[in-house]
């Protein structure tokens, strides 16, 4: 299945397919074409920098693959990931010595790109989300750089501080100049049409462009910090244009599929060692706790599968939890992938025999 015809999966593997080796592979499909899609996005199994790239492709309704790499405990204090070995293979096979996360695989051009803003720019240009002319493209480039500057104090707080309220406040103080500039940019966008009262839900030209997605994701993460650490229940209130942008952007029809998907709702903001947003309940991950988002194997997502799973009865939840914990013992040759979170369940089954499918249909109808 693909968004643009490339190498056929029936003739030979798609570019780099044999070396990506993710812990979770998500096939996002909006149509039924059978060839490998042009784009794949690789990142940690968190939202982070990968989220806006995934959201871009989903908003454009383009088939794509998502590769997620887990961070896992290594002894009492360390961390490890299969990505560290995969990275070396990717360098060799892609002939790109700069390989890092996030990366974008372009199967049409048979190459791998890395560095966040380069990934945004490449996808944006290919799918028509990088301005309509050279002037708008240069504005997109400036905005991507400014938004990355805004990201820096957030990263310092999450990964290089003690996670205290004082450090959170310091991060917001450092972010304030960038927030003000972006708020003023949106005011200028409104004024470009000669209407200061115009609501602006896009950063450039009144249409979706690459910087929109990174700004939205970052504002969402700052908002979570503000609320969690008691800094403000409405920190965007002092930036009315940014608040208007975020509210309007998340209501756009193009974004509904992604925002209701497991990629948005089932992944934490940050990696396990982060002092904030490293667990699904926006709390802090505790070494050794269950990480529901790890090792999901192969998942397929499409507009028909993005609906929220139904609520389970108490008995159903016991059965599903038991099955999840013992899935490797119960069936070593079948891929049965469960996503269990609070009292909801979604089943993604690959290569199940007919009788096995009936068993799990029975569990859900109990």
| CATH number, domain with residue 189 | 1.20.1050.10
The answer to whether the beta carbons of residues 41 and 53 sit under 8 Å apart is yes
What is the number of structural domains in the chain? 2
State whether 144 and 202 are in the same domain.
Answer: yes
Locate 84 and state its tokens. 């560290």
Count other C-beta atoms under 10 Å from residue 68's C-beta.
Answer: 25
Residue 322 has what pLDDT?
52
Query: Are 236 and 349 part of one and the same domain?
Result: no
Q: Does a structural domain hold residue 28? A: no
51 inside domain: no
8 Å CB contact between 2 and 33? yes
pLDDT (0 to 100) of residue 130: 98
> Quick one: 342 and 244 in the same domain?
no
Residues 248, 315, single domain; the answer is no
pLDDT tens digits along 276-319: 999 987 689 999 889 999 999 999 999 876 444 444 455 554 55
Residue 263 included in any domain: no
Which residues of the chain are modeled with pLDDT < 50? 1-10, 194, 306-312, 317, 320, 324-358, 361-362, 365-366
Residue 297 lies in a domain: no
CA pair distance 220, 269, nearest whole angstrom: 10
Could you give the CA distance from residue 147 to residue 183 in angstroms, rounded to a whole number?
12
Same domain, 327 and 254: no
- Can you give the pLDDT at residue 19? 95
In the chain, what is the straight-line distance between the N-terminal and C-terminal CA atoms, in Å?
A: 35
β-strand partners of 298: 25
* 141 phi and psi angles, rounded to 5 deg: -65, -45
Q: Which residue has the tokens 């990263």?
A: 155
Prediction pTM value: 0.80
Residue 292 lies in a domain: no
Length of the chain (residues): 366
Q: Is residue 274 part of a domain?
A: no
* pLDDT of 283: 82
Task: Answer yes or no: are the C-beta atoms of 129 and 56 closer than 8 Å.
Answer: yes
Note whether 157 and 235 are same-domain residues: yes
Write down the pLDDT at residue 321: 52
Q: Please check whether residue 230 lies inside any domain of the structure.
A: yes
Those residues with Cβ within 8 angstroms of residue 228's Cβ, 6 or more apart along the chain or in another chain:
276, 277, 282
Domain boundary among 221, 242, 258: 258
Q: Are residues 227 and 328 in the same domain?
A: no
Distance in angstroms (rounded) separating the CA atoms of residues 106 and 149: 27
User: HSE-up of 140 (CA within 13 Å, CB side)?
Assistant: 30
Q: Are residues 218 and 330 in the same domain?
A: no
Tell me the C-alpha distance between 318 and 309, whole Å: 16
From 258, 290, 318, give the residue that closes a domain.
258
Distance CA 56, CA 66 (A): 12
Tell me the sheet residues that pair with 337.
348
Measured distance CA(255)–CA(263) in Å, rounded: 13
Whether 360 contacts 347, CB under 8 Å:
yes
Place of tokens 């990142």: 43
How far is Cα 331 from Cα 336, in angstroms, rounded to an integer? 8
Structural domain ending residue among the three candidates 225, 240, 258: 258
Shared domain for 233 and 317, answered yes or no, is no
> To which residue do tokens 């990355």 refer?
148
* Residue-range definition of the domain harbouring residue 144: 134-258
Q: Does 2 reside within a domain?
A: no
Examine the domain organization and report whether 150 and 248 are in the same domain.
yes
């Amino acid at each position: 299945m693909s968004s643009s015809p490339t190498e056929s999966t029936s003739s030979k593997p798609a570019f780099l397919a044999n070396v990506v080796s993710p812990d979770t592979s998500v096939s996002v499909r909006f149509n039924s074409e059978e060839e490998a899609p042009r784009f794949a996005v690789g990142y940690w199994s968190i939202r982070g920098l990968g989220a806006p790239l995934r959201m871009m492709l989903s908003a454009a309704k383009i088939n794509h693959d998502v590769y997620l790499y887990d961070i896992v405990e290594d002894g009492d204090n360390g961390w490890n990931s299969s990505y560290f070995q995969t990275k070396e293979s990717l360098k060799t096979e892609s002939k790109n010595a700069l390989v890092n996360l996030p990366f974008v695989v372009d199967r049409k051009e048979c190459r791998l790109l890395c560095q966040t803003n380069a990934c945004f720019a490449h996808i944006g240009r290919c799918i028509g989300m990088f301005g309509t002319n050279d002037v708008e493209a240069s504005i997109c480039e400036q905005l991507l750089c400014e938004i990355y500057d805004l990201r820096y104090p957030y990263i310092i707080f999450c990964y290089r501080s003690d996670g205290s309220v004082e450090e959170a406040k310091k991060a917001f103080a450092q972010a304030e100049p960038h927030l003000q500039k972006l708020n003023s940019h949106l005011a200028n966008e409104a004024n470009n049409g000669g209407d200061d009262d115009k609501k602006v839900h896009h950063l450039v030209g009144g249409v979706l462009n690459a910087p929109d997605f990174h700004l939205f994701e970052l504002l969402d993460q700052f908002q979570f910090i503000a609320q969690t650490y008691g800094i403000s229940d409405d920190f965007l209130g002092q930036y009315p244009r940014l608040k208007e942008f975020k509210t309007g952007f998340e209501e756009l029809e193009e974004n509904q599929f992604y925002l209701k998907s497991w990629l948005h709702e089932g992944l934490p903001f940050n990696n396990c060692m982060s002092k904030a947003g490293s667990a699904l309940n926006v709390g802090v991950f505790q070494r050794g706790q269950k990480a529901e988002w790890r090792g999901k194997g192969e998942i397929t997502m499409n507009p028909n599968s993005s609906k929220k799973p139904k609520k389970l009865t108490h008995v159903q939840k016991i059965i599903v939890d038991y099955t999840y914990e013992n899935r490797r013992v119960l069936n070593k040759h079948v891929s049965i992938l469960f996503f269990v979170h609070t009292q909801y369940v979604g089943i993604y089954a690959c290569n199940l025999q007919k009788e096995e499918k009936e068993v799990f249909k029975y569990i859900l109808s109990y």
